């Protein structure tokens, strides 16, 4: 098993999750988000191309998300089998929310173009509300469980990455979950300063593990990278 290749591939998949997710929401979906649910019947230029590009980026995001759990699964399994399965499951649940969000955005784009005249604005607002909740529940909560707690614990326990780096996941995960729960309970505003601050440790963790795996690979001192005879397994 080529651990270095697995680490590099996994690291690049992490980078792809950033390259696809951030532009999709902040730029390509901006025409819909800026109208806050009134895009279907609102004024303004047609943004179907931008929305379609954002949808494609998020499809790539789903592939990369699943890859970050499936590609290193054989290594994670050596740390803790249930934890490895749990991480794959959490990623799949997160991607389910993302997929629903993609459908919502494409539906909004289609309604603006093809809906009959007199279409009720509430229809577009309802679909938009579904999209917003998929974002708040998927990246807003489940990410804290999967990427934060489960992956952070796997990496901290195994020593595959520096423990100080893994601590960002163990701290960031609960912060994501708590802030997401507060948004659901309407105790704090979505995307407000409290939630933004709560995402910083998780952001550092996810970007950090991607860069670390590309540059350094898994730490050869980890007992996980030893074969059954007790010898260090090849990493190059």
The answer, as to whether pTM is greater than 0.85, is yes
- Burial, 115: exposed, middle or buried (Cβ in 10 Å; 0-12, 13-18, 19+)? middle
Query: Over the Cα atoms of the chain, what is R_g?
Result: 20
Q: Is the pLDDT of residue 36 over 80?
A: no
Give the whole-angstrom CA distance, residue 37 versus residue 129.
Answer: 7
Taking the domains of the chain in order of start, what are their residue ranges?
A: 3-217
Asked which of 85-89, 218-222, 231-235 is least confident by mean pLDDT, the reply is 231-235
Give the pLDDT of residue 189: 94
What is the per-residue pLDDT across 52-80, written as a single tens digit (0 to 9) for each? 999 999 999 999 999 999 999 999 999 99
What is the per-residue pLDDT across 90-131, written as a single tens digit (0 to 9) for each? 999 999 999 999 999 999 888 887 665 556 677 888 999 999
Instruction: Round the average pLDDT of the chain to a whole number and report it.
Output: 91
């Amino acid at each position: 098993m080529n651990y270095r290749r697995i680490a590099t591939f996994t690291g690049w998949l992490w980078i792809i999750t950033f390259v696809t997710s951030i532009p999709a929401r902040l730029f390509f979906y901006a025409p819909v988000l800026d109208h806050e649910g009134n895009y279907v019947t609102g004024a303004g230029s047609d943004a179907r191309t931008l929305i379609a590009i954002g949808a494609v980026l998020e499809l790539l995001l789903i592939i990369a998300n699943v890859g970050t759990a499936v590609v290193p699964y054989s290594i994670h399994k050596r740390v803790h089998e249930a934890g490895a399965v749990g991480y794959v499951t959490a990623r799949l649940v997160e991607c389910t929310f993302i997929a629903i969000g993609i459908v919502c955005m494409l539906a909004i784009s289609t309604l603006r173009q093809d809906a009959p005249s007199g279409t009720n604005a509430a229809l577009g607002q309802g679909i938009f509300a579904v999209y917003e909740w998929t974002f708040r529940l998927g990246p807003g909560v489940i990410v804290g469980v999967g990427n934060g707690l489960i992956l952070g614990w796997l990496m901290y326990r195994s020593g595959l990455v520096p423990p100080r780096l893994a601590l960002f996941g163990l701290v960031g995960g609960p912060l994501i979950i708590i802030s997401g729960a507060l948004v659901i309970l309407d105790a704090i505003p979505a995307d407000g300063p409290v939630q933004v601050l709560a995402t910083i440790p998780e952001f550092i963790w996810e970007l950090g593990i991607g860069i670390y795996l590309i540059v350094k690979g898994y730490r050869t001192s980890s007992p996980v990278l030893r074969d059954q005879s007790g010898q260090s397994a090849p990493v190059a």
